[in-house]
Structure 1
Amino acid sequence: MLDYVNWLRHASPYINQHRDCTFVVMLPGEGVAHPNFGNIVHDLVLLHSLGVRLVLVHGSRPQIEARLAERGLSPRYHNNLRVTDGAALECVMDAVGRLRVEIEARLSMDMAASPMQGARLRVAGGNLVTARPLGVHDGIDYHHTGEVRRIDRKGIQRLLDERSIVLLSPLGYSPTGEIFNLACEDVAMSAAIALAADKLVLYGEEAGLLDDNEQLVRELRPYQARAHLQRLGACYQAELLDAAAQAAEGGVRRSHIVSFQNNGALLTELFTRDGGGTMVAQEQFERLREATIDDVGGLLELIRPLEEQGILVRRSREVLETEIEQFSIVERDGLIIACAALYPLPDSQAGELACLAVNPQYRQGGRGDELLARIEQRAKTLGLNQLFVLTTRTAHWFQERGFVTCGVESLPSSRASLYNFQRNSKVFVKSL
């Protein structure tokens, strides 16, 4: 019970933040066919009940493959896109139609079986995607395979205003009445851009993007995504990353890649600070900057546990408000996770590095080194040539970064007169 209460408390800022936001969620056909699909539907209904304006785009590749196999037809691909001739188009329409009905039924069933029972959930759609033929590429005629030409933004927004979940299938229609088979990733990305969505969520098999060491890449800028695309080559993760990067470049603030195999992946990504997948964001999710008066409350939350342990000298809110301009901070999605202060010492060309603190959950990311580099840069800008630090617990950390031990007598007189012999801090200095 306590874990649930703590999770809800930490999620509450995101619940408020996501209300009335527009999310476009893409679930490929493999995700619909996966045993975890029921849990994904639960999560989508929960988002809807929390006031999120939801557009769901579904894929259908494995379902189309099954229809082709039933008719004894072989699938044809070029550059990972289906070549949709007349016979294949019949299979596409059959598979997409059946899948759409199944998804609508599952969403309705989930509402009936949830605490939202009795509330009406509407799933809406229509000819909201206009498409055009992909044409002939490298001598290959794609026939009825198309690409998105236009999204009916006003039509979708009207349905969202009516509190409907908008369900988009990977089919598009031309003004001349033709039907085109579309990539669900293209539909989702185009819809997110057209709607100026707050988020695009892309489900894939993996938890997100993995680097060369098979470690999860948690955050990327669009320009960084391009370098990873070259490394990945032709694979589905590359398709998802490309869609996320294009969405960011098209104005979508944040795109997320999560796994349809992991129960609760969507909620973890959206309602926890570090998420569980890969995010491609326009703005910097974590940044190092100078503190302002609005940061005093966050600084107090960060340093108070260390003050209670005797690691840092206790500072009152009034002192922090007076000295706030001395602080540099690391902010992660609105939370201050690290700080350090520089105090120029009067009558000398020296400064004191003080109140260096990093949230215990984030001590493995080199943030202390980033703050030290920022403090040293600020000191040099002020014309200081020495940096002192007084510490009771972290002597080795500073020694490993070029600080050398010295006596209290080495401190400038203005600082030596304030030395607390009861704390008995060790004094270190570094030449800049």
Structure 2
Amino acid sequence: MSTVFNFTFVPWFRSVAPYIHKFRNQTFVVGIAGEAIAAGKLPNLAQDLALIQSMGVRIVLVHGFRPQVNEQLRAKGHPSRTHLGMRITDEVALDCAQEAAGQLRYEIEAAFSQGLPNTPMAGATVRVLSGNFITAQPVGVIDGIDFQHTGQVRRVDVAGLMRTLDMGAMVLLSPFGFSPTGEAFNLNMEEVATSVAIALQADKLLFITEVPGIRVQPHEAASPDNPIDTELPLAQAEQILAACGPALQPSDTGFYLQYCVRACKGGVERSHILPFAVDGALLLEVYVHDGIGTMVVDEKLESLREAHADDVGGILQLIEPFEQDGTLVKRSRTEIERDIANYTLIEHDGVIFGCAALYPYPEAKTAEMAALTVSPHSQGQGDGEKLLKRIEQRARLLGLESLFVLTTRTMHWFIKRGFAPVDADWLPEARKRKYNWDRRSRVLVKRLN
């Protein structure tokens, strides 16, 4: 049993480690919808946030309270009024909002104080600090409707927030702001989180919501495990948002997307929409390659590039499992260092997820594509085809007429992409001398038009 556990845990932990290193000392702004707390998700969310903070991430946590305020209003027999997706906050609604915020802050602070044995909180000391970091101003009158005590963010106390984060504390913000004259305003959690993320130039803005993310369009291919667009370029996100129309409600597709787009345009590189219904969604989004929700980015994080000397270690780590099971011929560090200029990589968020090498034989007007490898964590997403196309492009630039591969297990993958089987005697003389007749690799060739 322990052996099986080792075989699953060790590769998993190694795959997570690059993200732990990458996010250390970065700043995340996390907005938790009040619906998540009402659904009883706070204890697990607190554990996950404490775990992320223990790995060196600086966290600003903003809580929402829509359902809690509505519950208070119902208890008082007072109607809940909204317009353009915003609450109209009269005196009674403001009183209910203050009561709900006080109760939720108490519950959140208590959740971070539970150092329960046999949980991620065991031995954890999470200091949670709140403060008047948000200056607000009234929304005023829109469409002839006075929003009264509903406000919008006017200024974020960046210096105060940074000092608190530098102390190692987690900052907790309620969706409230105060005017310079001391007047309280009920704010929108999503606007507070977005404004803080932009002001701090945070590395991530994450919304944990009742919305699972942005669902792929019917004509697009979706993973059966996750029917969500896991990564949206900013331009595509703006197109989706334009089709959503005005006056978005919290349950609408574009409601959270509008804040992700605004954050992205304001300098926050990555904004996320995560479903609180999935336990551990925050950990899955931050530390797993494809995540669980939708991430809006200003540009594609994935880059296809030629390798350099600093990539040798990453290539070795990527190809080692495939060498061990016999899929690839074993290559030494010295060999990879010598041939590093031949390699093309797919890198995602600083981690190498695929590679391939080009070995030209100019005298025969051909080249070998070798060491084509895609990480198990990103297989099935077209990375192999991207590498193949780049290798073909490099071969054409060298004036070569064909590309060949040697394989024992993936012959059908290559045949589907235009390769045809040939006899080993077809190989260029220099390559034929190195051919391992015991391995009996199949030779496949593709003509480059």
Query: TM-score, normalising length from structure 1?
Result: 0.90
Q: Partner letter of residue 54 of structure 1?
A: I
Q: Deviations over 1:280-332 (max 9, x none)?
A: 23453332211111222222222233334443333221111111111112123
Other-structure match for 2:176: 171
Other-structure match for 1:330: 346
Q: Partner letter of residue 425 of structure 1?
A: S
Q: Which moved more, 1:316-325 or 1:47-56?
A: 47-56
Among 232, 238, 241, the alignment partner of 1:226 is: 238
Q: 1:286, 1:310 → 2: CA distance?
A: 28
Contact 2:289 2:377 in 1 (8 A): no
Other-structure match for 1:217: 229
Q: How many residues align?
A: 431
Q: 1:260, 1:202 → 2: CA distance?
A: 9
Other-structure match for 1:71: 76
Q: Which moved more, 1:165-174 or 1:405-414?
A: 405-414
Q: Secondary structure at the match of 1:347?
A: helix
Contact 1:58 1:184 in 2 (8 A): yes
Among 120, 125, 128, the alignment partner of 1:123 is: 128
Cα deviation for residue 205 of structure 1 reads: 1.5
Report matched runs for 1:286-305 at 5 Å: 286-305=302-321
Q: Percent identity?
A: 48
Q: 1:144, 1:232 → 2: CA distance?
A: 28
Contact 1:23 1:199 in 2 (8 A): yes
Other-structure match for 2:48: 43
Give the 3 Å change call, closer, same or farther, for CA 8–318 of structure 1 in structure 2: closer
Q: Deviations over 1:192-231 (max 9, x none)?
A: 1111222222111144332235712222222232123245
Q: Secondary structure at the match of 1:217?
A: coil
Q: Secondary structure at the match of 1:344?
A: strand
Other-structure match for 1:202: 207
Give the 3 Å change call, closer, same or farther, for CA 248–187 of structure 1 in structure 2: same
Q: Deviations over 1:51-76 (max 9, x none)?
A: 43221111111111112212222111
Q: 1:115, 1:344 → 2: CA distance?
A: 53
Other-structure match for 1:386: 402
Report matched runs for 1:320-399 at 5 Å: 320-399=336-415
Among 260, 277, 284, the alignment partner of 1:261 is: 277
Q: Secondary structure at the match of 1:268?
A: helix
Other-structure match for 2:152: 147
Q: 2:121, 2:408 → 1: CA distance?
A: 55
Q: 2:123, 2:431 → 1: CA distance?
A: 69
Cα deviation for residue 10 of structure 1 reads: 4.2
Cα deviation for residue 144 of structure 1 reads: 2.0
Give the 3 Å change call, closer, same or farther, for CA 404–163 of structure 1 in structure 2: closer
Q: Partner letter of residue 156 of structure 2?
A: I
Q: 2:53, 2:402 → 1: CA distance?
A: 57
Contact 1:111 1:121 in 2 (8 A): no
Q: Secondary structure at the match of 1:284?
A: coil
Give the 3 Å change call, closer, same or farther, for CA 307–105 of structure 1 in structure 2: closer
Give the 3 Å change call, closer, same or farther, for CA 13–351 of structure 1 in structure 2: closer
Q: Partner letter of residue 232 of structure 2?
A: L
Q: Secondary structure at the match of 2:97?
A: helix
Q: 2:323, 2:124 → 1: CA distance?
A: 50
Other-structure match for 1:279: 295
Q: 1:321, 1:51 → 2: CA distance?
A: 33
Query: TM-score, normalising length from structure 2?
Result: 0.87
Contact 1:45 1:111 in 2 (8 A): no
Cα deviation for residue 423 of structure 1 reads: 3.1
Q: Partner letter of residue 311 of structure 1?
A: T
Q: 1:106, 1:304 → 2: CA distance?
A: 43
Q: 1:79, 1:349 → 2: CA distance?
A: 66
Give the 3 Å change call, closer, same or farther, for CA 140–399 of structure 1 in structure 2: same
Q: Partner letter of residue 47 of structure 1?
A: I
Q: 1:399, 1:153 → 2: CA distance?
A: 57
Return 5+ residue gaps in structure 2 as ranges. Answer: 219-225
Q: 1:285, 1:40 → 2: CA distance?
A: 27
Q: 1:19, 1:309 → 2: CA distance?
A: 34
